[in-house]
Structure 1
């Protein structure tokens, strides 16, 4: 099972953001999308999700055109965690996560015992079960990000798309999310996430896709693509590396 964007031109009615883009995500792999601000990462994600219509080309899921799939079926296939979300209504945290279960039933049906059990299991998975009865509008930005991750997993999708999932998280929760991404892939899900940190891609991804000014600069295995030369071209900044003598692991630093 795959999500595939073929010869995509992406953008908005008044602005073309990128063109000639081919992206493929299979079950069981993690694809990290890297690039500077304004480079087209979020626009590409929204196009792959069907939130934006391609200016050219098409998106296919299981080799079917995405636009032909009913909304409920898309929700059962793909979970999405946006970059920023500001709650308007004071739903409880548990209620927000339960919204992910509507992919498997009616929007207006009362949650079943199974729905509640799955939702609480997802909250517990991220260590935030104690927030279940708190108002979503009264918790921190980092806590909201974890709640949205729990909601996406409560959908029980085959693919998870994450737009900068660690942006508002503290150091410890960043590590938790990176571990979770690897665990999802090991369980057979396909994961696509954007990040500004090549070290997160090095840690969690199997493949990387470098995007600048709406153009693909490179794509492939993490160890092949994440080089000083490619990262300097991507960010137009100097990049240094640190290497662990014992493990051989590499970390990238700006400057």
Structure 2
């Protein structure tokens, strides 16, 4: 039995038929229990690919499968139980507390007009604890720092209990402390069997967590493979148009650029 959770097969997509496609011939298999990083410069189509994986956009051509089944065959409610998204940021119009906000992640598991149960509250609270926000569970969301809000968004996705977690630039705009915490949480999720698909333009984060890489360049078919074979000096220098070196520091690869 295949353990491929998400599969793209020769997927093409654009927002207008009279303009060049944003994605060209995208092909990859994301296996369960791994972290795939989508890497590339701004405008390469990284966030667009997440939209396709979530079923928010339909490919011009090609096939997208979730657990061996065409994505379009899933209902919206089914997708909500399989997939969760942590966006870069999100506007909060009301003064929800952190726990109330995270509890929204339980919505795909509730019947129409159903109210959260004690079990749903327990799952949400565990997610809040998992991202290190237990002490802030009753704090209004507008009073959180940027790093705390990013962890709250991740907690909501964890509370959704997805089989595949999608993260859009999860470490963007974070200080080093919060970035280190997010990296630790992603590693913990992988060790617990969760599969992650993230966009990221920070090479040090990719090196810290990713098993596989989808390397994207604007207007070009992307390159997919294990981190060590795709995330190379030559490829990074090409897509970023800078001389880039990968060096070992205390047994870990680090990125240098000039």
Q: Give the TM-score category using the shorter length.
A: over 0.9
Taking the aligned partners of 1:62 and 1:155, their CA distance within structure 2 comes to: 18
Taking the aligned partners of 1:58 and 1:181, their CA distance within structure 2 comes to: 28
1:139-171 deviation per Cα after TM superposition (whole angstroms, max 9, x unaligned): 222221111100000011111110100113221
Provide the secondary structure at the position in 2 that maps to 1:98. helix
Range moving further from structure 2, 60-69 or 148-157: 60-69
Which residue does 1:9 correspond to in 2?
Answer: 12
Which residue does 1:90 correspond to in 2?
Answer: 95
Which residue does 1:61 correspond to in 2?
Answer: 66
- TM-score (structure 1 length as normaliser): 0.93
**Gap regions ≥5 residues in structure 2:** none
Taking the aligned partners of 1:23 and 1:87, their CA distance within structure 2 comes to: 35
Pair 1:185 & 2:187 matched: no
1:106-156 deviation per Cα after TM superposition (whole angstroms, max 9, x unaligned): 353221111111111111111112222222233222221111100000011
Task: Confirm or deny: 8 A CA contact 2:28 2:224 kept in the other structure.
Answer: no
Q: 1:70 offset after TM fit, Å?
A: 1.1
Task: Confirm or deny: 8 A CA contact 1:88 1:137 kept in the other structure.
Answer: no
Which residue does 2:134 correspond to in 1?
Answer: 129
Which residue does 1:144 correspond to in 2?
Answer: 149
Matches within 5 A, 1:159-238: 159-238=164-243
**Gap regions ≥5 residues in structure 1:** none
Pair 1:106 & 2:111 matched: yes
Taking the aligned partners of 2:22 and 2:229, their CA distance within structure 1 comes to: 27
Provide the secondary structure at the position in 1 that maps to 2:184. helix
Which residue does 1:74 correspond to in 2?
Answer: 79
Pair 1:24 & 2:42 matched: no
Provide the secondary structure at the position in 2 that maps to 1:12. coil
Taking the aligned partners of 2:27 and 2:180, their CA distance within structure 1 comes to: 30
Q: 1:71 offset after TM fit, Å?
A: 1.2
Range moving further from structure 2, 179-188 or 74-83: 179-188
Task: Confirm or deny: 8 A CA contact 1:11 1:55 kept in the other structure.
Answer: yes
Range moving further from structure 2, 220-229 or 204-213: 220-229
Q: 1:65 to 1:98 in 2, by over 3 A?
A: same
Taking the aligned partners of 1:150 and 1:214, their CA distance within structure 2 comes to: 35
Which residue does 1:251 correspond to in 2?
Answer: 254
Taking the aligned partners of 1:10 and 1:133, their CA distance within structure 2 comes to: 42
Task: Confirm or deny: 8 A CA contact 2:27 2:224 kept in the other structure.
Answer: no
Q: 1:209 offset after TM fit, Å?
A: 1.0
Task: Confirm or deny: 8 A CA contact 2:26 2:222 kept in the other structure.
Answer: no
